[in-house]
Amino acid sequence: MGKAQSNFDFKLMCFYFKFRDFFLPPKNILNEAGIKPGFHILDYGCGPGSYIIPLAELVGKSGKIYALDMHPLAIQRVENIASKRHLTNIETICSDCKTGLPDNSIDVVLLYDILHVLGDPIGVLQELHRILKPNGILFFSDHHMKENEIVSDVTNRGLFRLSRKGKRTYSFLKSENLEKEMRI
Q: Worst-scoring range by mean pLDDT, 28-32, 72-76, 103-107? A: 28-32
Region at 88 (left for phi over 0; alpha for psi -120 to 50; beta for the rest): alpha
Domains and CATH numbers, the chain: 7-14+38-183 (3.40.50.150)
pLDDT in tens, 138-166: 999 877 778 888 888 899 889 999 999 98
Please, which residues have CB within 8 angstroms of residue 93's CB and are 6 or more apart in sequence? 66, 67, 68, 69, 75, 99, 100, 101
* CA-CA-CA-CA torsion sign (155, 94, 43, 169): negative
Asked whether 97 and 123 are in contact (CB, 8 A), the reply is yes
State how far the Cα of 105 lies from the Cα of 132, in Å rounded to an integer.
6
Bridge partners (DSSP) of residue 76 are none
Q: In the prediction, which pLDDT does 26 show?
A: 75
Q: In the prediction, which pLDDT does 104 show?
A: 97
Question: In the structure, what pLDDT confidence band is assigned to residue 1 with cuts at 50, 70 and 90?
Answer: very low
Q: What is the pTM of this model?
A: 0.86
State how far the Cα of 145 lies from the Cα of 12, in Å rounded to an integer.
22
Q: What is the mean pLDDT of the chain?
A: 86
User: What is the mean pLDDT of the segment spanning 62-71?
Assistant: 95
Q: In the prediction, which pLDDT does 147 show?
A: 82
Q: In the prediction, which pLDDT does 167 show?
A: 85
Question: In the structure, what pLDDT confidence band is assigned to residue 83 with cuts at 50, 70 and 90?
Answer: very high
- Torsion angle defined by CA atoms of residues 154, 152, 115 and 172, in that order, rounded to the nearest 10 degrees: -30
Radius of gyration of the chain (CA): 16
pLDDT in tens, 40-55: 999 999 989 999 999 9
State how far the Cα of 1 lies from the Cα of 98, in Å rounded to an integer.
10
